[in-house]
Amino acid sequence: MKIYNCDQMSDEWFSVKAGIPSAGSLDRIITTKGEPSKQRDEYLNQLVGEKLLGSKQQTYQSPAMERGVELENEARCLYSFHEGVDVQQVGFCVHDNGLLGCSPDGIVAGMSGFEAKCPLIHTHIGYLRAGKLPTKYFQQVQGSLYVTGFVTWDFMSYFPGIKPLIITIHREDAFIRKLHDELVVFNHELKEIVEKLS
């Protein structure tokens, strides 16, 4: 895995990510069942555009998303204290094969990853009640495990003043095999379209 130590959301981070499929958008490539997503072509077109421009286009951030970004460091500090571990901040990680990247909220001891979400209160309570990884983040976490080669990834939901949800997610090799196959096809198409439109 190649690690780019740049600040997330910085110009350098946007530049490094340009045209590379990202774990945070994997639900736009593959479903939780390992089938092609209905948003696949739209995401493919977006990445083609980024490759042609040589830069990643910043997308709209809702107030809830901005709030999540603001609380991320607070969540990371609480996680570090709660688990008794040091969390290394990184910018962007890319698998050695170049097929996928991810922007972890942290790497722990070079052996596992960390992802924090800071949702609105009703969503956080829902996550606490369910006590498991929300389905909407399944592809992101498994994609991050694929990129890094790690076996586990800790997921945290955080809302100030309320108990956090911290759970450890294990690598699901059957899904990751399907993911790899889909990424090979997706990236081949991406390269072909870029060459055709260049």
Give the distance between the most distant pair of CA atoms in the chain. Answer: 53
pTM: 0.94
Average pLDDT of span 60-79: 82
- Give the per-residue pLDDT at 9: 86
Distances (CA, A) of 88 to 8, 38, 77, 122, 189: 13, 35, 11, 30, 34
What one-character DSSP code corresponds to residue 171?
-
Is there a contact between 18 and 53 (Cβ–Cβ < 8 Å)? yes
Query: Which residues is 168 bridged to in the sheet?
Result: 154
The two structure tokens encoding residue 41: 């072509």
Phi first, then psi: what are they for 72, rounded to 5°? -60, -45
- pLDDT at residue 142 in the model: 98
Domains and CATH numbers, the chain: 2-197 (3.90.320.10)
Indicate if the pLDDT at residue 58 is higher than 70: no
